[in-house]
């Protein structure tokens, strides 16, 4: 699993003025939110969001994209709300997280419709980079 400071160092290497504290907060929040979840393999679920954020950093994406990578499953898989994400991480990150492919998965047809409409707000960078998640 990609450790917090490894991720921060990776982002800092290409973006010296990045908001590293925001990345740290997103990492810790996602790790906490997924704390009781495990994958079928038995490893912590948080391995996945940390890996997605690592890919964003490898692609040298901005701070918002790295944070959204960390948070992309929080709305779908935890009790966290959109309002909480927006309050803690800002509107830009919340919008990306709300429109990410994994949050578009839902059992309710009404929820799927809402998510499809939200997908129109995706940044081209997010759609292109994280469509596989």
For residue 118, pLDDT beyond 80: no
pTM to 2 decimal places: 0.75
Catalytically annotated residues: 76-77
Q: Mind listing the pLDDT tens digit for each residue in 27-38?
A: 999 999 999 999
**pLDDT value of position 94:** 93
Q: Mind listing the pLDDT tens digit for each residue in 54-90?
A: 999 999 999 999 999 999 999 888 889 999 999 999 9
**pLDDT value of position 132:** 54
CB burial string 37-49: b at 16+ within 10 A, e below: eeeeeeebbbebb
Alpha-carbon distance of 41 to 36, in angstroms, equals 14
Q: Which domains does the chain have, with CATH numbers?
A: 4-130 (1.10.3210.10)
Estimate to the nearest angstrom the gap between the alpha carbon of 26 and the chain centroid: 8
Alpha-carbon distance of 87 to 109, in angstroms, equals 27
For residue 50, pLDDT beyond 70: yes
């Amino acid at each position: 699993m990609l450790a917090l400071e490894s991720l921060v160092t990776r982002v800092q290497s290409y973006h010296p003025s990045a908001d590293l504290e925001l990345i740290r907060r997103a990492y810790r929040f996602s790790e906490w939110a997924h704390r009781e979840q495990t994958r079928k393999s038995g490893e912590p679920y948080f391995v996945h969001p940390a890996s997605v954020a690592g890919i964003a950093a490898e692609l040298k994406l901005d701070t918002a994209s790295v944070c959204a990578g960390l948070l992309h499953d929080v709305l779908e898989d935890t009790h966290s709300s959109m309002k909480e994400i927006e309050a803690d991480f800002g509107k830009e990150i919340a919008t990306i997280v709300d429109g990410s492919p994994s949050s578009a998965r839902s059992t309710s047809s009404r929820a799927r419709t809402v998510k499809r409409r939200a997908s129109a707000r995706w940044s081209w960078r997010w759609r292109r980079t994280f469509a596989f998640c």
